[in-house]
């Protein structure tokens, strides 16, 4: 079983969670359980023993969240040693919980196009398909080239990584597009590999690679008697 944690403020949820659940289920080849962040605790993870945990994105700005003050979610995200990945807002939250900083990407420049003027007008957003450059070799990007094209829907970003995180990928206007923890199987992507877009297979490959990493961690844990 894998676990998909919804990090969005409940009254801001815009739907699509079942689509993502099915996409994660197909990519992992296993049952995907869904839980909201305020239902999650380290004790719950220890009871369920998911072999992979995915943290969702959301439509709220980082400074509107109460999730960073949610003790159960914080304890789970920091204390769980199994494979985890955060998508978009989830990527930002995992970085913040580990000591990173978040911010807006900034106001629109004179020559910037606003690809979604109804959402956060006046601010620069990555909205649509964007090229992302892979900066460091990692199994998350196995089988992919130096530049991938992936879906992005965000105004906020990780402005400074925690000391124990390694930068894996960047785009022209967003430095932290992907990271991993130095010692744990913990990843984050500012882009959305869980949102499958016809004609753009790179995101799906990233998702498949994460689950391959998680399966390898599960197998290693079984050999050591930890699972």
98 catalytic per annotation: no
Q: Which of 88, 152, 157, 174 is flagged as catalytic?
A: 88
Q: What is the C-alpha separation between 182 and 79, in angstroms, rounded?
A: 15
Using DSSP, state whether 94 is helix, strand or coil: helix
* Cα 221 from Cα 150, distance rounded (Å): 32
Asked if 96 and 62 touch (Cβ cutoff 8 Å), the reply is: yes
Rounded to a whole number of angstroms, the distance between the first and last alpha carbons of the chain is 13
Please, are residues 33 and 80 in contact by the beta-carbon 8 Å criterion?
A: no
Would you call 194 a catalytic residue per the annotation?
yes
Active site residue 88: yes
Q: Which of 70, 152, 192, 217 is catalytic?
A: 192
- Partnered with residue 132 across adjacent β-strands are 148
Residue of 152, 157, 194, 217 with catalytic role: 194
Catalytic residue ranges: 88, 192, 194
């Amino acid at each position: 079983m894998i676990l998909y944690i919804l990090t969005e403020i409940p009254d801001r949820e815009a739907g699509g969670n079942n689509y993502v659940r099915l996409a994660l289920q197909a990519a992992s080849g296993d049952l995907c359980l869904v839980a909201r962040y305020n239902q999650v605790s380290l004790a719950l993870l220890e009871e369920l023993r998911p072999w992979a945990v995915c943290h969702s994105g959301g439509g709220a700005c980082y400074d509107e969240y109460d999730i960073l003050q949610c003790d159960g979610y914080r304890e789970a995200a920091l204390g769980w040693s199994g494979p985890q990945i955060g998508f978009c807002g989830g990527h930002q939250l995992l970085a913040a919980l580990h000591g990173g900083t978040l911010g807006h990407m900034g106001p629109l420049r004179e020559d910037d196009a606003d690809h979604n003027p109804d959402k956060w007008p006046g601010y620069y957003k990555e909205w649509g398909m964007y090229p992302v450059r892979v900066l460091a070799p990692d199994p998350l990007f196995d089988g992919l080239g130096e530049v991938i094209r992936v879906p992005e829907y965000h105004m906020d970003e990780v402005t400074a990584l925690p000391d124990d995180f390694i930068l894996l990928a960047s785009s022209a206007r967003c430095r932290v597009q992907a990271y991993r923890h130095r010692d744990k199987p913990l990843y984050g992507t500012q882009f959305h590999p869980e949102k499958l877009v016809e004609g753009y297979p790179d995101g799906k490959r990233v998702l498949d690679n994460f689950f391959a990493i998680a399966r390898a961690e599960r197998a290693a844990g079984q050999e050591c008697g930890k699972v």
